[in-house]
Every structure is written in C-alpha cells, then in structure tokens.
C-alpha cells in the first residue's frame, strides 16, 4: 500500500476515534448521572484521536525511513560471495545499480544475472515490507483507539492529558531551530573532516592555488588538484567590499534623509519603493548584472583604456551593493529613529544645524546599531550566491583588479556540487569545507551583529 494511502487511512481512523471517544464520554456520563465529566466531551474525543494518530504516524515514518536500509542489507547479504567481497564503495555502486533497476522497472535483459535477481528480490521484499508496515500501522491505530476508549471514565482528566500532549508537540516544534542548526553543523563538519583528511587544513586555508577541477579521482597521480582557498576568499572579500562601498553610503544616506529630513508623505512613498529592492529574487539581479551592467561597464570603462573582462568583480559587486541598499537603510533607519528626540533638541538648542546634529550627535549615538546592521549586511554579501554565480565567473584569480574576473566561496560551492558528482572525491568534499568556512564566518558576523544591535537598543529603552 502506498504511503499516502496509509496516511489517509490513519487520518480517517483518528477522525473516527474522535467521534468514538466523544460518544463514549457522553455515554459513561449518561449512565451514572451523579458523576459529572471532568472535561468537555470533545476532549475525550481529541484524546482518542491523538493517541490513535501520533503513534501510528511515528511508526509509519520510522518504517518509511528504515525500510530501504533493512532491505538493502538483506539484498546485499544475498548477493553472490564474490560481489560481497568487493570493497565497500564498489558494493555501494552495486546497490545503486540495483536500486536504479528497481525504480525504472526495466526488463533486465542483458544485465548481470545476479543483479537482476537481486533487483527482483528487492522489489519482492519491498512489496512484503509495504504490506507488513501498513498492516502494523493500522493495527496500532485501531489498538490505541480501543485502549483509550476502554479507559474513558467520567473522572478521567482528558483535558489535562490533551494539553500535555499538545504542549509536548509545541516544544518539539520550537526545538526544530536547534535541530536545524545542529544538522547544518554536523553535515558540513563531517564532510569537511573527511576533506581535511585528504587535504591538510593549513593547505586549504593558506594555499594560494585553487584548481579543484583537475582532480577527478583521488588516486590519480599528477593531477591531484590544488585546494588553496586564499584566491577564493580574496575574491569573496573583494566583491563584498565593492558591494559595501555601494550599499553603505547609499543606504546610510537614504536612511538619514528618510528619518531626519523627509516629510511623512515622501517617506510613505520612498520607503516601500526601497524595500522592493530587497524583495526582488537574487536570480533576477544576477541576470541584470550579467546582461545589463557587465556589458555597460565593459564598454564605458574600456573607453578609459582599462581592460575589463566580461565577468568582472565590479559588475557583480555593484549589483550586489544595490541589492543590499534596503538592508542597510532599513536597519539604520530603525536605530536612528531609536535615538531619543531630547538629544537632537539639545544639539539644536546649542545652535547646531541639522546636518551638524546628525553628524555629531545622532550618528555617534546610533553608531553601534549602524555597525551591527552593516555587519549583517556584510554577512549577506558574503553568502549571496546567484548574483556572483551569474556575473562573477569561475577563474580563481588572486588579483586586486576589480575589472578582472574573480570567484567566490559560494560560486565554488555551486560549481563543485552541481551536476554529476562522486561523493567521495576531494572535489565535492571541498564544497563542504568551503561551506563550513562560510557558515562559521557568517555565524560569527551574525552573532556579533545581533549582540551589538540588541545591546544598543536596550540603551535608550
């Protein structure tokens, strides 16, 4: 039976359980009138439904996740001895092939006899397991309905019970964020450790040459590839720097004008318009950078005698800067507005002009918050992917010339992982090492920024 079908049946059973529980509660209450129900009848129904649905669903999910593993082990165990004796990764390949044969429902004509037999066995086991799993799940659901139904008494604290279950569910949902972070750290860390076993960590962090495309297999001699990530980091830094050079002055000045000078009407129009910039998908910016900005820059700057490559750091950085403008401006806007009016009034009373007040009182007072906002924007720029993938290029040049093509961490991750991949080669593992660096750097930036912003906000509240 298919997963969705079993799921639907479990849900229907829960609904049935709800009515059964509710009816039972009304029945036991009606039988001896002197005893009043502890909770409203609906709670008895809910309790039955929850007890029916939750264990059954958990079992269903566990079955679905565990089934392939068990079946694979069984199938591998039945393979001919000489196949099982192969090294582990070759066995994995065989398993993959079997799985492909199963999924595509191919008639295994000229395939290996043993493999096609294994595929048939796999299919057969899967059918059996599917039936067995569905049967067990439905049995469990019915059994739990019966157990709860039997125990319903007027004195049963159904509401408290239901609320405990719901609260436990809420706690699990709230803890998801931690699991996600944990998942990120573990997945990236494990693959990175595997990578650092092949390429020493100092070579990765401080090497000057990056050419991962050379190494197709780890055991190839002479083309082991070079995994020195300095050019990649340098490219990331340069593009982020260009982006910040665009975004910080424009964003900050926009925020200052909007919060200090603009009248209400202008603000009501200009602010949402600026925010639109933040809502445009990055792939659109990438297209804009590659097709409009880059050719324009090449033509206009070549006129001055500079040689601009078609995928220059400048185009990517410039467009990324535009994308970040609203980020800087709305964060700065918040902190500037949080500066108490009394401080401005004090400066005006001393005879300062508006700009002097802003420059000498408001900005210094808001500086920690602005710096925090800029740090968040930097972390955004470092982690931005699509603009640089489409406009910045792949060549890992170690250069300070913004008219040349450079590459970034995110571009490398994408190019290393998109397309067919062998999961054990240092080439793909390098992507996870880069991901680890990216995650750690952005994490530090975020934590520092959030800390600074929060601390600052408390100052004037």
Partner 1 sequence: MNNGSEKTIDIVKKGLGRRYRVEKRFRLYGVLAITISLLFLALLFASIIARGHSAFRQTFVKLSVELAEAEFDLNDLGRADYQGLIKKTLREEFPQVKSRSDKKDLYSLVSSGAAFRLHNLVTDNPSLIGETVEIWVPADDDVDMYYKGYISREVPEEDRRLKDNQLAWLDRWQAEGKIVKRFNTIFFTGGDSREPELAGILSAFTGSMLTLVITLALSFPIGVAAAVYLEEFAPRNRWIDTVEVNINNLAAVPSIIFGLLGLAVFINFFGVPRSSPLVGGLVLTLMTLPIIIIASRASLQSVPPSIREAALGIGASRMQTVSHHVLPLALPGMLTGTIIGMGRALGETAPLLMIGMVAFIVDIPQGFTDPATALPVQIYLWADSPERAFVEKTSAAILVLLAFLIVMNLLAVILRNRFERRW
Q: What residues from 307 to 336 belong to the interface with partner 1 (CB under 8 A)?
A: 322, 325-326, 329
Which residues are within 8 A (CB) of 461 and not within 5 positions of it... i.e. 6 or more apart? none
| Under rule CB under 8 A, residue 376 binds partner 1 | yes
Do 312 and 403 contact (CB within 8 A), yes or no? yes
Under rule CB under 8 A, how many of the chain's residues touch partner 1? 89
The interface with partner 1 within residues 386-415 (CB under 8 A) comprises 386, 389-390, 410, 413-414
Selected binder of partner 1 within 19, 261, 299, 360 (CB under 8 A): 261
Selected binder of partner 1 within 257, 348, 403, 460 (CB under 8 A): 257
Selected binder of partner 1 within 56, 274, 366, 405 (CB under 8 A): 274
Pick the closer one to partner 1 by CB: 170 or 216. 170
User: How far apart are CB 271 and partner 1 at their closest, in Å?
Assistant: 10
Q: Other CB atoms closer than 10 Å to residue 390's CB: what's the count?
A: 23
| Under rule CB under 8 A, residue 350 binds partner 1 | no
Do 122 and 102 contact (CB within 8 A), yes or no? yes
For residues 434 and 192, give the distance between their C-alpha atoms in angstroms, rounded to a whole number: 8
Query: Cα–Cα–Cα angle for 304, 305, 311, nearest 5°?
Result: 95
| Under rule CB under 8 A, residue 89 binds partner 1 | no
| Under rule CB under 8 A, residue 369 binds partner 1 | no
To 10 degrees, the CA torsion angle through 365, 371, 373, 377?
160
Selected binder of partner 1 within 19, 27, 190, 306 (CB under 8 A): 190
* Binding segment (CB under 8 A) for partner 1, from list 22-30, 86-94, 251-259, 306-314: 251-259
Selected binder of partner 1 within 51, 63, 195, 432 (CB under 8 A): 432
Closest CA to 318 of 285, 284, 281: 285
Selected binder of partner 1 within 291, 350, 367, 400 (CB under 8 A): 291
Which residues are within 8 A (CB) of 407 and not within 5 positions of it... i.e. 6 or more apart? 210, 231, 232, 235, 388, 392, 393, 394, 395, 396, 397
> What's the distance, CA 345 to chain centroid?
46
Do 290 and 390 contact (CB within 8 A), yes or no? yes
| Under rule CB under 8 A, residue 306 binds partner 1 | no
| Under rule CB under 8 A, residue 243 binds partner 1 | no
The total number of residues shown for the chain amounts to 461
Site string for partner 1, 45-84 (x = CB under 8 A): --------------------x--x----------------
* 3 state SS of 159: helix
The interface with partner 1 within residues 101-140 (CB under 8 A) comprises none
The interface with partner 1 within residues 3-32 (CB under 8 A) comprises none
């Amino acid at each position: 039976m298919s997963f969705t079908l079993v799921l639907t049946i479990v849900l229907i059973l829960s609904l049935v359980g709800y009515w059964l529980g509710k009816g039972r509660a009304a029945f036991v209450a009606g039988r001896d009138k002197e005893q009043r129900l502890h909770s409203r009848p609906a709670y008895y129904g809910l309790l039955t439904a929850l007890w029916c649905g939750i264990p059954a669903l958990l079992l269903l999910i566990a079955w679905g996740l565990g089934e392939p593993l068990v079946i694979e082990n069984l199938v591998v165990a039945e393979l001919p001895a000489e196949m099982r004796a192969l090294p582990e990764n070759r066995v994995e390949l065989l398993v993959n092939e079997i799985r492909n044969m199963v999924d595509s429902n191919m008639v295994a004509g000229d395939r290996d006899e043993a493999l096609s037999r294994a595929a048939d066995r796999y299919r057969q086991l899967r059918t059996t397991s599917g039936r067995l799993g569905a049967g067990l799940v439905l049995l469990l659901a019915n059994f739990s309905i019966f157990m709860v139904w039997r125990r319903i008494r007027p004195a049963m604290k159904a509401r408290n019970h239901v609320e405990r279950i719901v609260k436990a569910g809420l706690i699990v949902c709230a803890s998801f964020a931690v699991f996600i972070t944990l998942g990120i750290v573990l997945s990236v860390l494990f693959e990175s450790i595997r990578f650092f076993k092949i390429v020493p960590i100092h070579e990765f962090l401080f090497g000057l040459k990056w050419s991962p495309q050379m190494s197709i297999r780890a055991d190839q001699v002479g083309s082991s590839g070079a995994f020195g990530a300095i050019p990649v980091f340098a490219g990331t830094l340069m593009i982020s720097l260009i982006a910040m050079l665009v975004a910080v002055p424009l964003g900050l000045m926009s925020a200052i004008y909007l919060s200090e000078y603009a009248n209400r009407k202008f603000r009501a129009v200009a602010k949402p318009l600026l925010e639109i910039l933040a809502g445009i998908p990055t792939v659109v910016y990438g297209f804009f950078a590659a097709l409009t900005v880059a050719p324009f820059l090449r033509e206009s700057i070549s006129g001055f005698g500079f040689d601009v490559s078609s995928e220059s750091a400048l185009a990517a950085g410039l467009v990324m800067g535009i994308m970040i403008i609203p980020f800087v401006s709305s964060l700065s806007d918040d902190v500037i507005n949080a500066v108490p009016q009394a401080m401005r009034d004090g400066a005006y009373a001393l005879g300062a002009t508006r700009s002097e007040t802003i420059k000498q009182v408001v900005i210094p007072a808001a500086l920690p918050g602005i710096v925090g906002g800029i740090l968040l924007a930097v972390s955004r720029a470092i982690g931005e992917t699509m603009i640089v993938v489409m406009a910045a290029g792949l060549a890992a040049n170690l250069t300070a010339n913004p008219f040349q093509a450079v590459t970034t961490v995110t571009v490398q991750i994408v190019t290393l992982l998109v397309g067919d991949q062998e999961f054990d080669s240092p080439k793909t593992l390098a992507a996870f090492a880069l991901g680890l660096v990216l995650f750690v750097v952005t994490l530090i930036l975020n934590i520092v920024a959030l800390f600074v912003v929060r601390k600052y906000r408390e100052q004037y509240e």
